[in-house]
Amino acid sequence: MNATGGVSGEASERAQWSAERSEVARGASKEPSATSASSGEASERSQWLADRSEIAKGGRKEPAGARETALNETARAEMREIIARYPEPRSALLPMLHLVQAYEGYVTPAGIEMCAEELGLTEAEVAAVATFYTMYKRRPMGEYHVGVCTNTLCAIMGGDQIWSELTDELGIGHDETTDDGMVSLERVECNAACDFAPVMVVNWEFMDNQTPQTARELVGKLRSGEQVQSTRGPGICTWKQAARILAGFPDGRATEGPPAGAASLAGLVLAQEKGWTAPEGGRPALGAGGSHSQEDDR
């Protein structure tokens, strides 16, 4: 049931997304045409080509920013900063798409256009990449993106029950957002925290060892705007702030939160209790001495 729902859901989502794209393009053109969808797409295409040649000539009459977008010249400068990190520009595309989400909340047509311009790709090439990866969203997200792991281990340990209670509580399903724009829900795949099952993530921060009750309390707090603390990280930032970090612009909060969660330490704590250690190390002298003497040599 889930799978068939997922397939048709994905298909209709894609249709909606492309409809939005052509709508935006039509809205921005001078003469909104009342023609059929196919000729609308054709005029969108010619409009787009006209815009591009205009831009190429340096006489840009309509920069991406004109289409009600938060992507400004600072964003463009940051994209160029990302590109400079890589030996070849196109490698910057994934972080650039994260940056688009940091400004827009999701991957907008304007964002696709700006990435394409900066990398010398077509918009189709950028969109093809953006639609491949699940972290890039095709419609606005809530302030807090809540992921519930329903892969096998978490599902069996209680993730399925958490999922069903949360969807009841919030009245939304997979990839949907509450009317107040605060919380989006997603069934996520294994998030590499199986020893903390059942696991949830909020804006990609770990919320370990959840129960249906703690999960309901969590989304209640998120909706009321109360600050929520990750179980292995800092206070949860917003969806857009998180995307900025993914784009490679740190927020200076790396030192917050513990070094490790309790489960991560299970073996170490036992070893300490039992007095178990790895064998003594020590490479035979290489003239290396201790680290400090080396530092002095420098």
Within 234-293, the residues that bind other proteins by CB under 8 A are 234, 242, 245-248, 250-251, 253-255, 257-271, 274, 276-279, 281-284, 286-288, 290-291
Would you say 3 and 168 are in contact if contact means Cβ atoms under 8 Å apart? no
> For 139, how many CA atoms within 13 A lie in the half-sphere containing its CB?
16
For the segment 177-206, give every residue that binds other proteins (CB under 8 A): 188-198, 201, 203-206
Please state the closest distance from residue 29 (CB atom) to other proteins, in A: 30
The token pair at 54 is: 């205009």
Cα angle for residues 86, 87, 89 (degrees, 5° grid): 65
Beta carbon nearer to other proteins, 52 or 90: 90
Please state the closest distance from residue 291 (CB atom) to other proteins, in A: 5
Please give the Cα distance from 297 to 295 (Å, whole number): 5
Beta carbon nearer to other proteins, 67 or 135: 135
For the segment 75-114, give every residue that binds other proteins (CB under 8 A): 85-88, 90-95, 97-98
How many residues bind to other proteins according to rule CB under 8 A?
99
* Residue 172 contacts other proteins per CB under 8 A: no
Torsion of CA 173, 175, 180, 182, to 10 degrees: 110
Beta carbon nearer to other proteins, 37 or 270: 270
Please give the Cα distance from 146 to 166 (Å, whole number): 10
* Residue 156 contacts other proteins per CB under 8 A: yes
Beta carbon nearer to other proteins, 39 or 122: 122
* Residue 135 contacts other proteins per CB under 8 A: yes
Beta carbon nearer to other proteins, 173 or 212: 212
Torsion of CA 114, 116, 118, 119, to 10 degrees: 160
How many residues make up the chain in this entry? 298
* Residue 11 contacts other proteins per CB under 8 A: no
Please give the Cα distance from 10 to 64 (Å, whole number): 28
> Count of CB atoms within 10 A of residue 250's CB?
8
For the segment 35-54, give every residue that binds other proteins (CB under 8 A): none
Please state the closest distance from residue 98 (CB atom) to other proteins, in A: 7
Helix (H, G, I), strand (E, B) or coil at 206: strand
* Residue 294 contacts other proteins per CB under 8 A: yes
Please give the Cα distance from 40 to 173 (Å, whole number): 33
Please state the closest distance from residue 129 (CB atom) to other proteins, in A: 6
Beta carbon nearer to other proteins, 42 or 128: 128
- β-bridge partners, 147: 186, 201
Please state the closest distance from residue 106 (CB atom) to other proteins, in A: 13
